[in-house]
């Protein structure tokens, strides 16, 4: 079984989906499982429907835009064939989504600023992106003679109830995937799952790569390929850095570190299940499938060339003790436990005698909860709209140029890795 994942950009419209079929035919695998994301920026559009600042009328307008976009792509892709358009179940799905949306907005209005309620409603709404895209791609592929079964991922990917960043229940998930017939072809959704009691969950933004790894693990896949709008993994985002160079191969460890620091080309949780079963991962260009792309497997050794990773939209929080209380093991473990409970992922951390500073991906609700939880014991200060740069295998002589150009609010440095949180927008081309 080969697992192939197509992200939002590779199913962004009817033309892209036709191209997906060409790739599938060209790849000619005996049995395959396709994992597919929501089309283009649909996930962002669905997220916006839940914005409390949006009036109901505006939310319904935005809903209609999503609906019109999907219908337009369906009509184009399926040549206006009414029977096929009906097979996408779009009429039912959009009816359901509208009802879900109105109910979610009522619940959110009743519990404003309650992140657990928000996260639960978020998963119910946002998961439609993947259902809509896979229904369309499936209908199209079947109409073009592919023998392929549509799977509802939440029946197979079983998770805990940590909404918006759910953890996988591997035992149940593996049992269910392993029970599938390996002599068939499948198509399923990335990003979504459900708890054992049936509550819809998502695996974190950009989580479809991880879904593909979960299916690869359950199937004991011979390999997994993710099709991207870039030619592979580079030592920096090629859209941000002119000097970026593509790797022909990298180790599981290097890829894991890069994604941990925020290289968004692959979801950070993807590598672990593949590594455990030694499943090779290929990152390939769907724009230019003839290119070899990047291979990640156990034959690669760690490389020591510099890699650059930018993470945007950071919020740097500083907890300052009151009454000259010192930061110590007790306060650190208290703060960390609280951050864990609030589901804050700390991107960089610095501790001094009287303060504990950390940056996380900005989220208004979570910031309010941080302030509410810590302001009794600490003076809480924060800066938002910041950027974080991580350089692995940095060269010290390159850094002076960096200091000349940027105001650094926080810096962490080990022998191999340096991280900066800065105020002004980073431009790698200016510095490296």
Contact map string, positions 126 to 145, toward ligand ASP, x by CB under 6 A: ---x----------------
Our measurement of the distance from residue 42's CA atom to the centroid of its chain's CA atoms, rounded to an integer in Å, reads 13
Residues that bind Mg ion (CB under 5 A): 7, 206
| Residues 424 and 406 sit within 8 Å (Cβ to Cβ) | yes
Q: Decide if residue 369 touches ligand ASP (CB under 6 A).
A: no
Residues contacting ligand ADP: total by CB under 6 A: 18
Q: Are 113 and 372 in contact (CB under 8 A)?
A: no
Specify which residues 188 forms β-bridges with. 35
Residue 96 to residues 21, 106, 113, 128, 166, Cα–Cα distance (Å): 29, 16, 25, 10, 23
CA-atom Rg of the chain in angstroms: 23
Nearer Cβ to Mg ion (185/211): 211
Question: For the window 37-76, what string marks contact with ligand ASP as x by the rule CB under 6 A?
Answer: xx----x---------------------------------
Contact between residue 388 and residue 360 where contact means Cβ atoms under 8 Å apart: no
- Nearest to Mg ion of 206, 369 (CB atom): 206
Which token pair is 28?
């000619």
Question: Which residue number, 190 or 232, has a Cβ lying nearer to ligand ASP?
Answer: 190
Task: Give CA–CA dist 325/318, Å, rounded.
Answer: 15
Least separation in angstroms between residue 267's CB and ligand ASP is: 7
Considering the complex, state which of residue 259 and residue 422 has its C-beta at the smaller distance from Mg ion: 259
DSSP classification of residue 11: G
Residue 159 β-bridge partners: 168, 195
- Judged by beta carbon, residue 221 or residue 263, the one nearer ligand ADP is 263
Residues 178-217 that bind ligand ASP (CB under 6 A): 190-191, 205-208
Work out which of 83, 147, 179, 239 binds ligand ADP, going by CB under 6 A: 239
The correct pick among 263, 274, 389, 426 for binding ligand ADP (CB under 6 A) is: 263
d(CA 247, CA 249): 5
Q: How many CA atoms lie within 13 A of 288 on its CB side?
A: 6
Q: Under a CB-based contact definition with an 8 Å cutoff, are residues 142 and 78 in contact?
A: no
Q: Which stretch binds ligand ADP (CB under 6 A): 6-14, 39-47, 125-133, 324-332?
A: 6-14
Note the residues at the interface with ligand ASP (CB under 6 A).
7-8, 37-38, 43, 129, 190-191, 205-208
Note the residues at the interface with ligand ADP (CB under 6 A).
7-10, 37, 206, 228-230, 233-234, 236-239, 263-265
């Amino acid at each position: 079984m080969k697992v192939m994942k197509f992200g939002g950009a590779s199913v962004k419209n009817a033309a892209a989906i036709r191209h997906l079929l060409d790739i599938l035919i060209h790849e000619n695998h005996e049995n395959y499982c396709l994992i597919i994301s929501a089309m283009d920026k649909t996930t962002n559009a669905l997220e916006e429907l839940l914005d409390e600042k949006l009036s109901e009328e505006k939310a319904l307008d935005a809903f209609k835009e999503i609906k019109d976009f999907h219908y337009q792509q369906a009509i184009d892709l399926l040549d206006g064939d009414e029977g096929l358009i009906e097979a996408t179940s779009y009429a039912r799905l959009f009816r359901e989504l509208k009802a879900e949306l109105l109910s979610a907005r009522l619940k959110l209005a009743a519990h404003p600023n309650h992140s657990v309620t928000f996260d639960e409603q978020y998963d119910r709404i946002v998961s439609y992106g993947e259902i809509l895209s896979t229904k369309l791609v499936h209908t199209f592929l079947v109409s073009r003679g592919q023998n392929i079964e549509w799977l509802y991922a939440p029946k197979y990917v079983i998770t805990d109830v940590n909404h918006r960043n759910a953890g996988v229940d591997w035992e149940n998930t593996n049992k269910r995937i392993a029970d599938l017939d390996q002599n068939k072809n499948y198509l399923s959704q990335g990003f979504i799952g459900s708890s054992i009691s049936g509550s819809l969950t998502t695996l974190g933004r950009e989580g479809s790569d991880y879904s593909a790894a979960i299916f690869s693990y359950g199937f004991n896949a011979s390999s997994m390929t993710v099709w991207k709008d870039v030619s592979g993994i580079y030592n920096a985002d090629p859209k941000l850095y002119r000097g970026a160079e593509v790797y022909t191969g990298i180790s599981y460890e290097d890829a894991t570190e890069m994604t941990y620091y925020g290289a968004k080309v692959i979801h950070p949780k993807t590598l672990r299940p593949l590594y455990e079963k030694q499943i090779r991962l290929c990152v390939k260009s769907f724009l230019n499938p003839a290119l070899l792309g990047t291979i990640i497997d156990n034959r690669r050794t760690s490389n020591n060339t510099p890699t650059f990773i930018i993470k945007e939209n950071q919020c740097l929080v500083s907890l300052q003790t009151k009454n000259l209380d010192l930061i110590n093991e007790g306060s650190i473990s208290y703060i960390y436990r609280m951050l864990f409970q609030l589901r804050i992922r700390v991107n960089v951390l610095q501790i001094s005698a009287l303060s504990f500073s950390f940056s996380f991906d900005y989220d208004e609700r979570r910031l309010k909860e941080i302030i509410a939880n810590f302001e009794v014991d600490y003076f809480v200060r924060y800066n938002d709209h910041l950027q974080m740069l991580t350089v692995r295998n940095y060269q010290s002589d390159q850094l002076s140029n960096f200091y000349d150009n940027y105001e650094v609010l926080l810096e962490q440095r080990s022998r191999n890795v340096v991280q900066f949180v800065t105020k002004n927008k980073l431009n790698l081309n200016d510095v490296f």
